[in-house]
C-alpha cells in the first residue's frame, strides 16, 4: 500500500504506544520528504547487488514510509561459509534512508555498523536464512546523539536454519526499532539479544516480534537496558506460536537497570500461544543497581563510580549470554566495552 494512503496507527496499538508514528516521522506525517541514501560499504572485497524495490509492497506504515522515501536495495547473497563480514552503513545529509537485504545459504557472520550525523535516519533490513544455513548478525547503532533513528527488520528463518541476532543500541537521540522474525520451517531457531545504553535524554523503543509458524522451533530473546539521566527505554515483545506449531520452545527475558531517579523503563513481553504442546516463558524486571553488588565491589577497593560502571558493563554484556557464535559475541562485547569506557571519560 502507498504510504500516503495509509491511516496513522493509533496509540492503542502495542507497537505505537510509547513512540507514536508522528514522533518518529522525520517531518510532517502527511509528506514523504526527499532523502539521501545511507551508503553501505563492505570492508571485504564483496560487493552488493543493487536492486529496485517492489512498489507498494508493505502494509505496515514504517516500512511503507521507508519504501516510499528511499531508493534502491543493497542486496548481498552469501553462499557457503564466509569470514565475518563488516558492513559500514554511513548516513549523511539531513534525512538518510537505506535498504539492505541479506540472502544467506551457508554459514555467515555479518555486522552492520551504522554511524553518521543526519537529523533523521531510517533503515530497513530484510533477510532470509535458507534451510540448514546459519547467520550470526550483529547490528551496532553508533549514530550521533542528536539523530532520530527508525529501524525496521524482517527476517525469515527456514527449516533447520539458525539466526543469531544481536543489537547494540548506544547512538541516536530518539530511536524506534521494529524487529520481526518468522521461524518458517521445522527445526528453525533464533537467539536474539538487544542491549541498550540509554543516557541523558535518550529515548529508545525496541520492539521485537518472533513468530513460530511451525513446530519444533526455538526462540530465545534477552533484552537488557541500562537507563540513566532522564532517558526512557521501552522494550516490547510479541511472541506468537501458531496453532499447529507444537513442541515449540520460546523464552523472552527483559531486564532494565535504572541508574537515576528520572530514568524510566518499560518492559512488556506479550505472548499469543495457539498451540497446546509448547514451552513458552517470559519475564520482565526493572530495578536499580543491586546494593549488595555495589558493596561487594567497593569492599574490593573500587570507588562507587567504578563499581557502578563495572556492574552496568556486566549487566549489558550479559545480554549476549544467549549467543553462541564467538565472533559475534567478541565483536559486540568489544564495541560495548569501548563505548562504556568512552562514556566514563566524558
Partner 1 sequence: MADEILRVENLHVNVEGTPILKGVNLTINRGEIHAIMGRNGAGKSTLANVVMGHPAYEITQGSIFYQGQPLEELAVFERARAGMFLSFQYPASIPGVQVGTFLKKSVSSVRENPPKGREFRKELTAAMEQLSMDKSFLSRYVNDGFSGGEKKRLEILQMLLLQPNLALLDETDSGLDIDALRIVAQGINQVAQDSACLIITHYQRLLDLVKPDFVHAMIDGVIIRTGGPELALRLEDQGYDWLDVTA
Shortest distance, CB of residue 256 to partner 1, whole angstroms?
A: 15
- Enumerate residues 6+ apart whose C-beta is below 8 A from 308: 259, 289, 294
Residue 49 engages partner 1 in binding (rule: CB under 8 A): no
Out of 107, 298, 322, 343, point to the residue binding partner 1 (CB under 8 A). 298
Phi, psi of 65 (to 5 degrees): -65, -50
Nearer to partner 1, 72 or 322 (CB): 322
Are 109 and 87 in contact by the 8 Å Cβ rule? The answer is no
Shortest distance, CB of residue 326 to partner 1, whole angstroms?
A: 12
Are 129 and 161 in contact by the 8 Å Cβ rule? The answer is yes
Are 164 and 194 in contact by the 8 Å Cβ rule? The answer is no
Which three cell numbers mark 189? 531457531
Shortest distance, CB of residue 332 to partner 1, whole angstroms?
A: 12
- Interface map 241-280 toward partner 1 (x if CB under 8 A): ----------------------------------------
Out of 34, 321, 324, 334, point to the residue binding partner 1 (CB under 8 A). 321
Q: How many angstroms separate the CA atoms of 50 and 78, rounded?
A: 15
Shortest distance, CB of residue 313 to partner 1, whole angstroms?
A: 7
β 49-51/73-78 pair status: antiparallel
DSSP string, 260-325: SSS-EEEEEEEEEE--SS-EEEEEEEEEE--HHHHHHHHTTT--HHHHHHHHHHHHHHGGGGG---
Residue 163 engages partner 1 in binding (rule: CB under 8 A): no
Nearer to partner 1, 193 or 231 (CB): 193
Sign of CA dihedral 105, 109, 115, 119: positive
Out of 54, 276, 301, 346, point to the residue binding partner 1 (CB under 8 A). 301
Counting every residue written for the chain, the total comes to: 346
Out of 306, 326, 330, 338, point to the residue binding partner 1 (CB under 8 A). 306
Shortest distance, CB of residue 329 to partner 1, whole angstroms?
A: 12
Shortest distance, CB of residue 97 to partner 1, whole angstroms?
A: 35
Out of 314, 330, 341, 342, point to the residue binding partner 1 (CB under 8 A). 314
Out of 297, 329, 332, 340, point to the residue binding partner 1 (CB under 8 A). 297
Closest Cα to residue 223, out of 249, 201, 240, 198? 198
Measure Cα distances from 275 to 89, 216, 238, 278 in Å.
40, 12, 16, 7
Residue 288 engages partner 1 in binding (rule: CB under 8 A): no
Residue 56 engages partner 1 in binding (rule: CB under 8 A): no
Residue 284 engages partner 1 in binding (rule: CB under 8 A): no
- Enumerate residues 6+ apart whose C-beta is below 8 A from 211: 180, 181, 182, 183, 239, 240, 242
Residue 326 engages partner 1 in binding (rule: CB under 8 A): no
Out of 242, 316, 328, 332, point to the residue binding partner 1 (CB under 8 A). 316
- Give the interface with partner 1 as residue ranges (CB under 8 A): 290-293, 295-304, 306-307, 310-311, 313-318, 321
Amino acid at each position: 500500500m502507498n504510504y500516503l494512503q495509509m491511516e496513522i496507527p493509533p496509540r492503542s496499538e502495542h507497537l505505537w504506544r510509547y513512540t507514536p508514528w508522528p514522533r518518529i516521522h522525520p517531518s510532517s506525517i502527511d509528506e514523504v520528504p526527499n532523502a539521501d541514501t545511507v551508503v553501505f560499504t563492505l570492508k571485504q572485497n564483496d560487493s552488493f547487488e543493487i536492486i529496485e524495490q517492489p512498489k507498494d509492497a508493505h502494509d505496515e506504515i514504517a516500512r511503507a514510509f521507508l519504501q516510499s522515501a528511499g531508493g534502491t536495495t543493497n542486496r548481498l547473497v552469501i553462499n557457503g561459509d564466509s569470514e565475518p563480514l563488516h558492513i559500514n552503513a554511513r548516513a549523511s545529509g539531513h534525512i538518510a534512508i537505506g535498504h539492505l537485504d541479506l540472502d544467506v545459504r551457508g554459514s555467515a557472520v555479518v555486522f552492520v555498523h551504522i554511524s553518521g550525523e543526519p537529523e533523521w535516519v531510517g533503515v530497513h533490513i530484510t533477510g532470509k536464512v535458507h534451510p540448514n544455513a546459519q547467520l550470526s548478525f550483529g547490528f551496532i547503532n553508533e549514530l550521533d546523539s542528536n539523530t532520530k533513528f527508525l529501524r525496521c527488520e524482517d527476517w525469515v528463518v527456514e527449516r533447520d536454519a539458525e539466526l543469531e541476532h544481536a543489537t547494540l543500541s548506544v547512538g541516536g537521540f530518539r530511536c524506534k526499532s521494529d524487529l520481526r522474525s518468522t521461524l518458517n520451517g521445522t527445526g528453525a531457531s533464533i537467539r536474539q539479544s538487544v542491549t541498550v545504553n540509554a543516557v541523558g535524554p535518550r529515548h529508545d523503543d525496541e520492539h521485537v516480534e518472533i513468530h513460530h509458524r511451525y513446530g519444533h522451533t526455538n526462540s530465545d530473546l534477552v533484552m537488557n537496558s541500562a537507563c540513566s539521566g532522564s532517558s526512557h527505554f521501552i522494550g516490547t515483545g510479541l511472541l506468537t506460536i501458531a496453532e499447529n506449531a507444537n513442541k515449540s520452545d520460546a523464552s523472552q527475558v527483559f531486564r532494565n537497570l535504572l541508574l537515576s531517579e528520572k530514568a524510566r523503563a518499560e518492559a512488556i513481553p506479550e505472548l499469543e500461544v495457539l498451540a497446546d504442546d509448547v514451552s513458552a516463558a517470559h519475564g520482565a524486571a526493572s530495578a536499580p543497581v543491586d546494593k549488595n553488588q555495589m558493596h561487594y565491589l567497593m569492599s574490593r577497593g573500587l570507588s562507587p563510580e567504578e563499581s557502578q560502571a563495572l556492574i552496568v558493563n556486566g549487566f549489558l554484556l550479559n545480554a549476549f549470554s544467549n549467543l553462541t557464535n564467538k565472533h559475534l559475541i567478541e565483536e559486540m562485547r568489544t564495541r560495548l566495552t569501548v563505548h562504556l569506557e568512552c562514556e566514563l571519560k566524558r
